[in-house]
């Protein structure tokens, strides 16, 4: 049985996240207090006592989800994974869990990523929309014909998120509805994540990634940009450099993990979104899979 540990991205946060680990696990408490020191503010206060609105602030959201996920991966008595992957932000958690990044370096990169993305959203507002029940090729074809919009997240068969300038996203939604999409739902986000509009944030983050040491992971990490397993530190670093302006190929990543023998998927972190996506992606083999989560 091959175990795949998977890590959620932005949007999985909830008030009170991580409090149980902090109160019941001394090792988790130590890591969380270390995170507060590194960040220069008490992230745990937002996690444990903040409202849903408090947790939506990008500078809080991304480090909070990363910290919650990594604490579970490092402080829970679990067997070692055979492979890891994370959705967008979750890729940083996956790299720490696999030993390619230290906890401290991962947290610093995630904090910088959050700040850079927030600044980018303020400079260049954008939009994202979920397209439901339409083949990937149709979505790709429509986006190719509209400057300023691209596929951003391949979440599962029949669920792709597009991203870009607001007018371009609106036009794409109209065309995709006409092409037969069941729904084209604008998302409550302030920026065009995983699109070329994130280039200023990518450049800012790239300098930090290039200055950060990466090690060979203890197991393959399936990266968003390629959906393929990576074990070479230079390859991992290069793929991470491209992540902010490239699509998240989650459907393809899970299919490749299944093809490489994954039979147990464990979502580590807040929420259950990835468990649902894996079930939809793995319909042919779902009866033989174990899909579970630890929050």
Query: Considering its fold, how many domains does the chain have in total?
Result: 2
Nearest to 58 by CA among 4, 122, 129: 122
- Residues 114, 94 within the same domain: yes
Whether residue 68 lies in the annotated active site = no
- Residues 116, 135 within the same domain: no
For residue 64, what are the contacts with CB-CB under 8 A and spacing of at least 6? 13, 17, 18, 43, 46, 47, 55
Please pick, among 69, 111, 194, 246, the residue that the annotation labels catalytic: 194
The half-sphere exposure of 90 on its side-chain side, counting CA atoms within 13 A, is 31
- Residues 13, 90 within the same domain: yes
- Residues 106, 135 within the same domain: no
Secondary structure element (H or E) that encloses residue 91, with its range: helix 90-97
Residue 285 pLDDT class (50, 70, 90 cuts): low
Residue 293 pLDDT class (50, 70, 90 cuts): very high
Q: Is the dihedral of CA 220, 223, 229, 235 positive or negative?
A: negative
- Residues 211, 262 within the same domain: yes
- Residues 96, 164 within the same domain: no
Whether residue 194 lies in the annotated active site = yes
Q: Which among 137, 163, 186 is the end of a domain?
A: 186
- Residues 178, 203 within the same domain: no
Residue 1 pLDDT class (50, 70, 90 cuts): confident
> Which pLDDT score, from 0 to 100, does residue 286 have?
60
Tens digits of residue pLDDT in 18-42: 999 999 999 999 999 999 999 999 9
Burial of 222 (0-12, 13-18, 19+ CB in 10 A): buried
pTM: predicted TM-score of the whole model, two decimal places = 0.96
Q: Which among 164, 186, 208 is the end of a domain?
A: 186
Q: Which among 186, 218, 234 is the end of a domain?
A: 186
Please pick, among 21, 69, 88, 253, the residue that the annotation labels catalytic: 88
d(CA 146, CA 143): 5
The half-sphere exposure of 46 on its side-chain side, counting CA atoms within 13 A, is 24
Q: Which range marks the domain in which residue 39 is found?
A: 2-122+195-294
Helix (H, G, I), strand (E, B) or coil at 59: helix
- Residues 80, 221 within the same domain: yes
- Residues 243, 114 within the same domain: yes
Q: For position 172, which CATH number holds?
A: 3.30.70.250
Q: For position 69, which CATH number holds?
A: 3.40.366.10
- Residues 75, 147 within the same domain: no
- Residues 115, 131 within the same domain: no
Share of the chain above pLDDT 90, in %: 92
- Residues 222, 136 within the same domain: no
């Amino acid at each position: 049985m091959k175990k795949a540990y998977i890590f959620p991205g932005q949007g999985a946060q909830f008030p009170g996240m991580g409090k149980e680990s902090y109160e019941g696990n001394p090792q988790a408490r130590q890591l969380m207090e270390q995170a507060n020191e590194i960040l220069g503010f008490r992230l745990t206060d937002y996690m444990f006592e903040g409202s849903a609105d408090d947790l939506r602030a990008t500078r809080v959201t991304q480090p909070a989800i990363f910290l919650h996920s990594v604490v579970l991966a490092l402080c829970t008595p679990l067997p070692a994974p055979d492979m890891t992957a994370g959705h967008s932000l979750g890729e940083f958690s996956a790299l720490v869990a696999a030993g390619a990044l230290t906890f401290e370096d991962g947290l610093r990169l995630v904090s910088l990523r959050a700040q850079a993305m927030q600044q980018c959203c303020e400079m260049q507002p954008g939009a994202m929309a979920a397209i439901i029940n339409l083949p990937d090729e149709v979505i790709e074809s429509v986006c190719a014909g509209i400057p300023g919009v691209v596929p951003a997240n391949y979440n599962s068969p029949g669920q792709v998120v597009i991203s870009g300038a607001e007018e371009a996203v609106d036009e794409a939604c109209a065309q995709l509805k006409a092409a037969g999409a069941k729904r084209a739902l604008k998302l409550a986000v302030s920026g065009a994540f995983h699109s070329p509009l994130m280039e200023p944030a990518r450049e800012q983050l790239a300098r930090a990634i290039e200055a950060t040491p990466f090690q060979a992971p203890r197991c393959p990490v399936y990266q968003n940009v390629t959906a393929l397993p990576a074990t070479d530190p230079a390859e991992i670093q290069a793929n991470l450099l491209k992540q902010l302006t490239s699509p998240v190929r989650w459907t393809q990543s899970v299919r490749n993990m299944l093809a490489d023998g994954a039979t147990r998927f464990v979502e580590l972190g807040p929420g259950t979104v990835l468990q649902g996506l894996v079930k939809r992606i793995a319909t042919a083999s779902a009866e033989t899979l174990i899909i579970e989560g630890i929050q």
